[in-house]
C-alpha cells in the first residue's frame, strides 16, 4: 500500500512560488511558478472540449515538439484566457517568454496554464508583475502557497506526495491541483501539476500519465460540465539519478498521487456536503461499467437525493437504465453502504433486486444517506466481468448560489 501524504515538503531539483499579482479582486494569491533546475521530460493530458483555451493549445504544441526539455510551468488564476482569439495565444506565448527570460532558458521550455473566467484577456501588466514576484520568491518549500495560488472557487489547497525507496536511492512524486466546479470526465475540469525527481523517457511518461489520469481525474464528477482549460502535466527531472528500470514503482506512485488529488477535488466540490463512491460490477466490460457509473454520478436527481438524505433508489436504477448499455432490470442488485469504500456487505443495505424494491428499513436507509461519505454498489447481474468506480458528490443549494454569480 502506497502511503500518500497530504503535504509536500520538497522535490529535489524543483523550486516553486505562489504570489499575489492582482488578478483576483480580493487580493488573494493568484500566480504560481514551478521551475526545475534542469530540463525535464514532460507529458500532458488535456480537455477533450472542442473549445480549447489558449494555454491548452500552446502546451499541446510544445509537448509535441519539445517533450524532453521543459524547465518551468506558469499558472495564473482569475482569467481562463479562453475564447480570446489570437491575442490570447500571443499573451500565453508572451507569458512563457517573460518566464524564460527571468530563469534563463528558451521560451519553448516553458508551459503555461490558466483558470478563471472565460472570454477575458489576460492583464499582461499583472502577469509580468506576477512573474517578477514569483521568481524572487522561488523556494523548495513553497508548495502550499503554490497550491493556494491556483485556487478559484476551491475552499482549500490540494496537495499530495509519495516517497519511494529504491535500490538506487529514494525519489518523490508530488502534485498540486485545483478544481471544485465544472468537473466531468474526459478530462475532468481542473488543473493539475505532478512532478518527480525520478527519470522516465518522454514516451514512457506519456503512457504513464494517461493511464493514471484515466483511473483518477477521468473518474470524478461534480456537476457534469467540461471546461475549456483542463490540463494535467507531469514533469520528471531525473535529479535523483534513478534510472528508468529502477523506477518500477513510479506508475503506482503517480496513480496514487493523481487519485488523491482527484478525490480531493470531489470532496471540495462546489457546495458539496457528501463524498459519493459509485461502484459497478457485472457489466459487459470495464468501459460499459464506466459509462453506467458516470451516468449515475452525473444525474442531478441522484445527486439531489443524496443532498436530501433520501434513499430514492429509483433515481439510481433509472439513471443506469438510460446509460445506453443493455441491462436486464430483473438481474440488477443495488446496495448502499456508509463510507468511501464498499467493503463488506455487513453494514450495507440492499434496496433493489429481481426488478423490485426489497423490504428495507427507510429509517436505516436515511441514516446511511445522511453520512458524509456514502457508497453505491450496483451489480448488473453478471452480464460480464466489467467493473468501474467513479467518485462524485451531492448537489446542494450552495452550488447554485456559487455559480449564479461567478463573474460578479
CA 377 – CA 359 distance, rounded (Å): 18
CA 379 – CA 387 distance, rounded (Å): 9
Q: Exposed (0-12), middle (13-18) or buried (19+): which is 14, by Cβ within 10 Å?
A: buried
Residue 108's Cβ-side half-sphere holds a number of Cα atoms within 13 Å equal to 10
277 annotated active-site: no
189, 196, 277, 298: which one is catalytic? 189
**Strand 158-164, strand 110-117: pairing:** unpaired
CA 17 – CA 74 distance, rounded (Å): 10
Q: For the chain, give percent helix, strand, coil, nearest 5.
A: 35, 25, 40
Helices 286-298, 313-321: crossing angle, 10 deg rounding: 130
Helices 313-321, 300-307: crossing angle, 10 deg rounding: 160
Helices 300-307, 286-298: crossing angle, 10 deg rounding: 60
List, as own/partner pairs, every contact residues 1-4 make where C-beta atoms lie below 8 angstroms and the sequence separation is at least 24, other chains included: 2/162, 2/252, 2/253, 2/256, 3/162, 3/163, 4/160, 4/161, 4/162, 4/256, 4/257, 4/260
Catalytic residue positions? Answer: 189
Amino acid at each position: 500500500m502506497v502511503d500518500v501524504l497530504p503535504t509536500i515538503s520538497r522535490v529535489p531539483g524543483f523550486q516553486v512560488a505562489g504570489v499575489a499579482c492582482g488578478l483576483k479582486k480580493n487580493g488573494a494569491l493568484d500566480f504560481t511558478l514551478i521551475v526545475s533546475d534542469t530540463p525535464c521530460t514532460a507529458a500532458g493530458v488535456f480537455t477533450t472540449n472542442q473549445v480549447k483555451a489558449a494555454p491548452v493549445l500552446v502546451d499541446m504544441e510544445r509537448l509535441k515538439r519539445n517533450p524532453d526539455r521543459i524547465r518551468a510551468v506558469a499558472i495564473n488564476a482569475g482569467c481562463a484566457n479562453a475564447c480570446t482569439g489570437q491575442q490570447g495565444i500571443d499573451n500565453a506565448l508572451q507569458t512563457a517568454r517573460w518566464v524564460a527570460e527571468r530563469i534563463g532558458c528558451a521560451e519553448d521550455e516553458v508551459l503555461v496554464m490558466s483558470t478563471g473566467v472565460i472570454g477575458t484577456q489576460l492583464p499582461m501588466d499583472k502577469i509580468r508583475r506576477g512573474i517578477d514576484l514569483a521568481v524572487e520568491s522561488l523556494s523548495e518549500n513553497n508548495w502550499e502557497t503554490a497550491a493556494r495560488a491556483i485556487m478559484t472557487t476551491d475552499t482549500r489547497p490540494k496537495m499530495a506526495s509519495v516517497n519511494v525507496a529504491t535500490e538506487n536511492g529514494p525519489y518523490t512524486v508530488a502534485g498540486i491541483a485545483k478544481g471544485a466546479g465544472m468537473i466531468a470526465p474526459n478530462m475532468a475540469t481542473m488543473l493539475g501539476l505532478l512532478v518527480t525527481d525520478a527519470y522516465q523517457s518522454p514516451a514512457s511518461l506519456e503512457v504513464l500519465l494517461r493511464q493514471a489520469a484515466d483511473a483518477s481525474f477521468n473518474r470524478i464528477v461534480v456537476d457534469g460540465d467540461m471546461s475549456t482549460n483542463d490540463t494535467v502535466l507531469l514533469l520528471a527531472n531525473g535529479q535523483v539519478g534513478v534510472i528508468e528500470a529502477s523506477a518500477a514503482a513510479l506508475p503506482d506512485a503517480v496513480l496514487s498521487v493523481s487519485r488523491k488529488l482527484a478525490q480531493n477535488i470531489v470532496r471540495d466540490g462546489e457546495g458539496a456536503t457528501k463524498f459519493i463512491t459509485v461502484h459497478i460490477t457485472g457489466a459487459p466490460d470495464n468501459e460499459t461499467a464506466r459509462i453506467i457509473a458516470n451516468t449515475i454520478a452525473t444525474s442531478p436527481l441522484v445527486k439531489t437525493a443524496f443532498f436530501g438524505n433520501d434513499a430514492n433508489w429509483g433515481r439510481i436504477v433509472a439513471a443506469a437504465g438510460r446509460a445506453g448499455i443493455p441491462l436486464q432490470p430483473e438481474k440488477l442488485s443495488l446496495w448502499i453502504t456508509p463510507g468511501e469504500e464498499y467493503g463488506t456487505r455487513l453494514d450495507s443495505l440492499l434496496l433493489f433486486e429481481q426488478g423490485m424494491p426489497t423490504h428495507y428499513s427507510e429509517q436505516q436507509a436515511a441514516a446511511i444517506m445522511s453520512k458524509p461519505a456514502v457508497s453505491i454498489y450496483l451489480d448488473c447481474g453478471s452480464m460480464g466481468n466489467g467493473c468501474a468506480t467513479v467518485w462524485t458528490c451531492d448537489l446542494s443549494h450552495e452550488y447554485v448560489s456559487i455559480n449564479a454569480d461567478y463573474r460578479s
